[in-house]
Amino acid sequence: MSEISERLLAGTSKPARGRAVLALEDGAVFEGTAAGAEGEVFGEICFNTSLEGYLEVITDPSYAGQIITMTYPQIGNYGVNPDDCQSDAPALRGLVVRDMCATPSNWRSAMSLPDFLARHGVVAAEGIDTRALVRHIRDHGAQRAVLSTTDADAASLVAKARASESIVGVNLAATVSRAEPAAFTAADLPESQRFALADPAAPRYKVVAYDCGAKRSILENLVRVGCDVTAVPWDTPAEEVLALNPDGVFLSNGPGDPEAVEGTYRQVEQLLGKVPVFGICLGHQMISKACGAVIEKLKFGHRGGNQPVMNLRTGRVEITAQNHGFGLVFPSLGPLVPELSAGFRGHEDDLRFWAKAKCAPVVANERFGRIQLTHVNLNDGTAEGIACLDIPAFSVQYHPEASPGPTDAHYLFTAFTRLMDGRDDYLDIDIATDRLGGWRFAEDAGAEGSVA
């Protein structure tokens, strides 16, 4: 930066800071300036395409082990409200943005994002060409990276990135789970959100939630549809869960490689068929692993709030929020059942085939009987949801709590309550109606309509 530039910045609300350099293991290097805590961190580089909700992204425990790049150019403009945090502290390794706002403007803001990052020791960089970086990740895939404010030597940083640990094979869920069981009820819902969200339903269901890095808003949504939730550590034995006599078991989201979270999916093997089970994201992968499926690492994953997913049972398309780098290989669950798959006998690698065929195919699984493919990603044809037809269990790869993101998939929490009620049609819900449920503006609109 030139002397003139430094003098101009010194007189603004955003004075110049030191250098920050991001280096990838394939040799790509991107330069910017520090925007959070000072230091040097290692992780898998990834990107999120959400236009808002940066705080929810940054505090999502599923980002443990990763350096996040936000594709939206300005981050931090409405500041930070602690009630919107998804965990007690950020679990990500680092943050990369194009422009970091140091002077937020919003009535709910309690502090600026740079101050929040510095307070929690999160190394961050701004001024990086995030468009070029994201194009590079899309072309070359997610990979190991280092973000440093203490070392500006490109060759040194590339060598460090190549020597760093991969997230493959590492149980990151254990690092963000809770240590002891804890109740989560209506008393734990943020008071500051009542201006927008309606009061929760009266509790009718007793749910045990495996916390593999659960986002707070997921537990809140379970409470809002009438669940008394007991959150338990990621490796809680199945017999201890069943001893609580729950109406249902929930499997949460979480970070990293599902193959390494054996302590959870081995318990799920013992729970399936004994109690209704619902899984989200890593929880979806835990059910898949319990059924003997193969999980693959995606090239650059799905992270953002604009992923189109088709519900094959209803034909409705949902715009969904997602955050994952691994996915289910649906054919690995078993051979197709032709009479339940529109007569088709062979598997398709691109699952968008089933959207065109207007069919939700069913396989014969050796462990748990018939399993149906319920949801498909319309961008790349990967599996987004399954339902066990002979036992009460279903799961989705995406995030229906929508924090951040659209509320199209909110119906899945309602579906879980219907599954616990013993209904076979639990997934067949009008999302256009359910997505408005729980919002005060929807209640106000209904009241105005009744007066008219």
Shared-domain flag, residues 123 and 39: yes
387 domain residue, yes or no: yes
Q: Out of 281, 284, 318, 388, pick the active-site residue.
A: 281
pTM for this predicted structure: 0.93
Q: Please name which of 80, 76, 73 lies closest in space to residue 98, comparing C-alpha atoms.
A: 73
Question: What pLDDT is stored for residue 433 in this prediction?
Answer: 77
Shared-domain flag, residues 154 and 181: no
What's the pLDDT tens digit per position in 382-423? 999 999 999 999 999 999 998 998 889 999 999 999 999 999
Question: What pLDDT is stored for residue 450 in this prediction?
Answer: 38
- The β-bridge partners of 325 are none
36 is in an annotated binding site: no
86 is in an annotated binding site: no
Shared-domain flag, residues 189 and 109: no
Shared-domain flag, residues 66 and 212: no
326 is in an annotated binding site: yes
352 domain residue, yes or no: yes
What's the pLDDT tens digit per position in 73-103? 999 999 999 999 999 999 999 999 999 999 9
Residue 5 has pLDDT above 70, yes or no: no
Q: Out of 56, 269, 384, 401, pick the active-site residue.
A: 401
101 domain residue, yes or no: yes
What's the pLDDT tens digit per position in 190-209? 888 877 777 888 999 999 99
Active site residue 140: no
12 domain residue, yes or no: no
Question: What pLDDT is stored for residue 356 in this prediction?
Answer: 97
Residue 10 has pLDDT above 80, yes or no: no
446 is in an annotated binding site: no
DSSP conformation class of 270: H
Active site residue 401: yes
What's the pLDDT tens digit per position in 215-265? 999 999 999 999 999 999 999 999 999 999 999 999 999 999 999 999 999
Shared-domain flag, residues 309 and 246: yes
Q: List, in sequence order, every beta strand (DSSP E) within 35-114.
A: 40-48, 66-70, 74-75, 94-96, 99-100
Residue with tokens 């193959």: 259
CATH (domain of 225): 3.40.50.880
Burial of 183 (0-12, 13-18, 19+ CB in 10 A): exposed
Active site residue 120: no
| Polymer length of the chain | 452
Question: What pLDDT is stored for residue 4 in this prediction?
Answer: 76
Shared-domain flag, residues 346 and 289: yes
Residue with tokens 């350096």: 67
Owning domain of residue 282: 173-441
Question: Which of the listed residues 163, 190, 222 is the one where a domain comes to its end?
Answer: 163
Cα–Cα distance, 112 to 106 (Å, whole number): 10
- How many domains does the chain contain in total? 2
398 domain residue, yes or no: yes
- Average pLDDT on 133-158 reads 97
Shared-domain flag, residues 199 and 330: yes
Shared-domain flag, residues 139 and 181: no
- Using pLDDT thresholds of 50, 70 and 90, give the confidence band for residue 442: low
Question: Which of the listed residues 163, 185, 208 is the one where a domain comes to its end?
Answer: 163
- Using pLDDT thresholds of 50, 70 and 90, give the confidence band for residue 452: very low
CATH (domain of 55): 3.50.30.20
Shared-domain flag, residues 177 and 158: no
Shared-domain flag, residues 159 and 189: no
